[in-house]
Structure 1
Amino acid sequence: MSEERMMSKKKPAYPVNEKLDAYLDNYNRKIEIPIFYEDLLRFAGSVVVYDNDGEDTLWVRVYYSDSERQEIDLSLKKVYSQLHSDGSDRIFQYLNIDAVDYCTFGNSKPFRIRVRNILNDNFTYFYVKKTDASRIYGLELEHMLSPYNLNFLVYKDTLIEEHISGIPGDVFIKDILPSCSESEKSQLAKEFVKFNERCMIRLLGDMRSYNYVIVPVHDFDHVVYRIRAIDFDQQCFEGKLKVYRPQFFKENNVMVELVRRKLLVDSVDQYKVEERSIVAKRIISSGKRIKKLVNICKNDDISLPENVERLGREIYELTHDVKFKRTKTMGQILHLALDFVKRNYQDVSMKQILERRIKLP
């Protein structure tokens, strides 16, 4: 199935409602920042950014007039300090804004800011985007339900996101995967199964290979690979369940084939159960925080009615839980999906406890 048919052509940006705004304030995600997304749009010109092979990266490096450059640099240093430090100006003298890049590809049209420490030449990135409620739900769910914590800030219509390090999935598949050992390929296949399951459970869509990164972790005498989502624009929007399963995008065909070749069906089922159990444990350990977020999402408008109706119907066909067919919002579907995973985990755990008790003398 082509992406044109799988995905909507254009996803609208949804505003942050009062309850979500209060949630962000309560959990220190909301903070006054000295620059807005629109301020960065006032660039005087730009040049194309090419990669090491001379290919267009779809990013352009923007520059500003002398009258605005100094103020923008100072504001971006303040944002960096708020995101990564205590918000004070003590570190400004050690920072340099090396580049401001703008991406015209995709929904979010982000700015990528490169910040360098002039004492040691270490550098990092952060992103400035337009605020979108879908994206915020996606970031928060990733923070609570994935193995990774996320750092981001919101102020009015501007969203600041930290950079997620890793090798872009499409680059890894093309340049690195062919030279991986057979054991590394098996481990990657396992990780893709778990990533696929995690995305479906929490309704994170559009995980094509360039929307996630692969992170190599050196562990004793071998390398372990992890897969991390880096794009959260398509949280709880599309009506087709396939959009929330990375295996159905053609860009991931190589990974799907890797799973087919390296894993037995029983192993795939085992890894799915493991991932559901891990997500269930995270739901339980997140306590009131995830409950508050999902309750806000249940009453929020972050998709189209026809998408909600179709997704509820498709998940019902998968789970046979009639509640999915009665949902009116994407937040209600998300609530039922997470509750379904949690209840199944708790039911299995209680069954095991009872079985152990019966076996006691």
Structure 2
Amino acid sequence: MSSEPVMLFKKPSYPINKSLLEYLERFDRLSKVSIFYDDLLRFSGSVNVYDKNDEDTLWIRVYYNEFERQEIDLTLKKIYSLLHSDGNLGILKFLNVDSIDYCTFGNSKPFRIKVRNILNDNYTHFYIKKADASRIYGLELEHILSPDKINFLVYNDTLIEEHIMGIPGDVFIKTLLADCTEIEKSQIAKEFVKFNERCMIRLLGDMRSYNYVIVPTHDFDHVVYKIRAIDFDQQCYEGNFKVYRPQFFKENYPMVKLVKDKLQNSSIEQYKDEERAVLAKRIHSAENRIKRLLQIMGDDVIAPEEHLKQLQLELYRYTNDLNFKKAKSMGNIMSAAFEFITRNFKNANLFKTGF
């Protein structure tokens, strides 16, 4: 396994430009309910949140004065109804905001909202963060190109994301992977190869084990595992190409070892080919939407110039495709990557991930 990619600086938040706002409005991504991330920062106190093993989760549970809490609760319930029932206000009387947690680590410092249906005690979460253009591009690309759809809303400089259910990758690796059957391990290895390929092609970075989840699904007499990204902060930002390849992070070494132990090289190439083919078909089927998004992205600035130049050079050396060298923005690099994959997805020797 090669040396781990290094990310030296905290990623800044990039503003949403007018063209991106128009795109979000066109595809019903704008919130009709006014909500500001900064309003939630005005909490009057907090307590630490511990997990079932009494270990500090690094989240804090925040509380507000009585007047502000009533207004905040009503707004959050309206946001929930927008995310899950198209803004139907009739359900508000059946909802309760059980908790508002604030994350004290990471780049986006999100609020996690727990909303419960008082009729049956079912509950779900969603997150409120500072809106960031590169994260929004990442969410849109995930929605269009991944096997799973994702729901989010934007209000001015505030981003609302639905919760993606699954077992955090680091927790799964630490507590559950060893107990999987040999067949399940082979299936997980296959999924990691596909996940690695998908992240690399669409330039979604920093997929360390705590930035994705494992989703088990019971199917007849066995369990099928899928891998889903849950953090889209590092979309087209870093210049180091390795950042976009999950296999190079030390946190993912158990998964990489699983691939080497369970899959032959021919199988690895087959699964990469399958993922490239599926991505090429999704790009083709959503051609107009992706073309519009990449045009906006191509005119936007979502990374420092030095990152752009480094990634241009590394991708050109990797593929010998001059389109990467000619790219003038991270959006142009993304366009070049999609053109490359749609042009060459039938060739099993392209975009090798080097397991």
Q: TM-score range by the shorter chain?
A: over 0.9
What are the within-5 Å matches in structure 2 for residues 165-244 of structure 1? 165-244=165-244
Alpha-carbon separation, structure 2, partners of 1:113 and 1:347: 45
Alpha-carbon separation, structure 1, partners of 2:178 and 2:224: 16
Alpha-carbon separation, structure 2, partners of 1:79 and 1:254: 39
**Deviation of the 1:8 alpha carbon:** 3.2
Deviation string 1:115-157 (CA, Å, 9 cap, x unpaired) is: 0000000000000010000000000000011000011001100
Helix, strand or coil at the partner of 1:107: coil
Deviation string 1:211-233 (CA, Å, 9 cap, x unpaired) is: 00000011111000000000000
Query: 1:240·1:307 contact (CA, 8 Å) conserved in 2?
Result: yes
Helix, strand or coil at the partner of 2:134: helix
Alpha-carbon separation, structure 1, partners of 2:105 and 2:181: 34
Equivalence for 1:255: 255
Query: 1:202·1:337 contact (CA, 8 Å) conserved in 2?
Result: yes
Alpha-carbon separation, structure 1, partners of 2:182 and 2:347: 37
* Gap runs ≥5 in structure 1: 349-361
**Deviation of the 1:88 alpha carbon:** 2.8
Equivalence for 1:358: none
Query: 1:76·1:97 contact (CA, 8 Å) conserved in 2?
Result: yes
Q: Residue type of the partner of 1:120?
A: N
Helix, strand or coil at the partner of 2:90: coil
Helix, strand or coil at the partner of 2:59: strand
Q: How does the TM-score come out when normalised to structure 2?
A: 0.96
Residues 1:104 and 2:104 are matched in the alignment:
yes
Equivalence for 1:332: 332
* Gap runs ≥5 in structure 2: 349-355
Change (3 A) 1:346 1:20: farther
Alpha-carbon separation, structure 1, partners of 2:133 and 2:37: 16
Query: 2:35·2:155 contact (CA, 8 Å) conserved in 1?
Result: no
Alpha-carbon separation, structure 1, partners of 2:230 and 2:281: 23
**Deviation of the 1:326 alpha carbon:** 2.1
**Deviation of the 1:337 alpha carbon:** 0.3
Helix, strand or coil at the partner of 1:6: coil
Residues 1:29 and 2:29 are matched in the alignment:
yes
**Deviation of the 1:33 alpha carbon:** 1.9
Change (3 A) 1:347 1:256: closer
Alpha-carbon separation, structure 2, partners of 1:193 and 1:346: 17
Query: 2:218·2:224 contact (CA, 8 Å) conserved in 1?
Result: yes
**Deviation of the 1:184 alpha carbon:** 0.2
Alpha-carbon separation, structure 2, partners of 1:193 and 1:159: 31
Query: 1:126·1:162 contact (CA, 8 Å) conserved in 2?
Result: yes
Deviation string 1:295-320 (CA, Å, 9 cap, x unpaired) is: 11011100011111111111111111
**Deviation of the 1:347 alpha carbon:** 8.2
Equivalence for 2:353: none
Helix, strand or coil at the partner of 1:90: helix
**Deviation of the 1:7 alpha carbon:** 1.1
Equivalence for 1:161: 161
How many residue pairs are counted as aligned between the two chains? Answer: 347
Aligned identity (percent) is 65
Residues 1:144 and 2:144 are matched in the alignment:
yes
Helix, strand or coil at the partner of 2:210: helix
Alpha-carbon separation, structure 2, partners of 1:171 and 1:233: 21
**Deviation of the 1:83 alpha carbon:** 1.0
Query: 1:241·1:315 contact (CA, 8 Å) conserved in 2?
Result: yes
The alignment yields a C-alpha RMSD, in angstroms, of 1.3
Q: Residue type of the partner of 2:105?
A: F
**Segment of structure 1 superposing worse, 26-35 or 95-104:** 26-35
**Deviation of the 1:345 alpha carbon:** 3.1
Equivalence for 1:62: 62
Alpha-carbon separation, structure 2, partners of 1:152 and 1:105: 22
Question: Which protein is bigger by CA-based radius of gyration?
Answer: 1
Query: 2:273·2:345 contact (CA, 8 Å) conserved in 1?
Result: no
